[in-house]
Amino acid sequence: MNKVRSLFKAITTCALGLSCLVAVNAQALTQDQKHTVWQIEQVINTLSTAQGRFMQIAANGGIAHGNIYISRPGRIRFEYDPPSPLMIVSDGKYVAQVDKDLQSVYYKRLSKTPLSFILADRISLNESVKTQDVQFSGNSILVTVRNRRDPGDGTLTMIFDSHTKELHAWQVVDAQGQMTTVRLQQMSYGLPLDGYLFARPEGYKSQNVRD
């Protein structure tokens, strides 16, 4: 079970990124950067639902694929392709990781994971988090933020399309410098999603909720 919990920590600390962003120095944003942040906030806050595919790159280089469903606020579902036995579901309050091989489910409060920021009802890049850097690279915008309350937790970098401002990927670098990458693929937005996709998993041996 320790192996599962370690993977759970990596996934709920998930993200995309470039290795050159591991070290980020806080600096004042320019007016152009501030305007870009404002534009991104407007686009994200109009997003209600999304679905598509994802590719996850773990800190050890392992790669997994699967389906992703998002219903803001608070709800997300990662369905991993076989042979992975994992499924991750947030019902808006708890994030559950199911291990189908072990027939078990492990819970963590959504508010204790980086997913809580991405799934918030209203995303602000200047309230609960501090925007540390905005970089422009080709057709991408890379926005790096850090938790104001726990700055030692690491950084979250979100990668957006420079034209549409759509989120393409995200990355978290934890306090130990470990990265997990999630890249979004074949995404569709604004389509109705069945509530059962985000229901708390049943039929599995439940582990204690961990803060």
pLDDT in tens, 147-165: 776 656 677 888 999 999 8
Q: For position 130, what pLDDT does the model report?
A: 80
What token pair was written down for 154?
């690491």
Which pLDDT does position 155 carry in this prediction? 79
- Work out the number of other CB atoms within 10 angstroms of the CB of residue 202: 7
Non-local (6+) Cβ contacts of 167 within 8 A are 44, 158, 159, 160, 184
Asked if pLDDT for residue 5 goes beyond 60, the answer is: no
Q: What is the mean pLDDT of residues 75-86?
A: 95
DSSP for residue 36:
H
Average pLDDT over residues 107-123: 85
- What is the rounded distance in angstroms from the CA atom of residue 125 to the CA atom of residue 128? 8
**Whole-angstrom distance, CA of residue 94 vs CA of residue 116:** 10
Predicted local distance difference test score (pLDDT) of residue 73: 93
> Is residue 19 over pLDDT 80?
no
Residues 85-107 have a mean pLDDT of 93
Tokens of 209: 């909720």
> What are 64's strand-pairing partners?
56
Q: Which residue has the higher pLDDT, 11 or 124?
A: 124
pLDDT for the residue numbered 156? 82
Mean pLDDT, rounded, for 35-39: 91
Predicted confidence (pLDDT) at residue 9 exceeds the cutoff of 60: no
- Out of 21-35, 51-65, 195-209, give the one with best mean pLDDT: 51-65
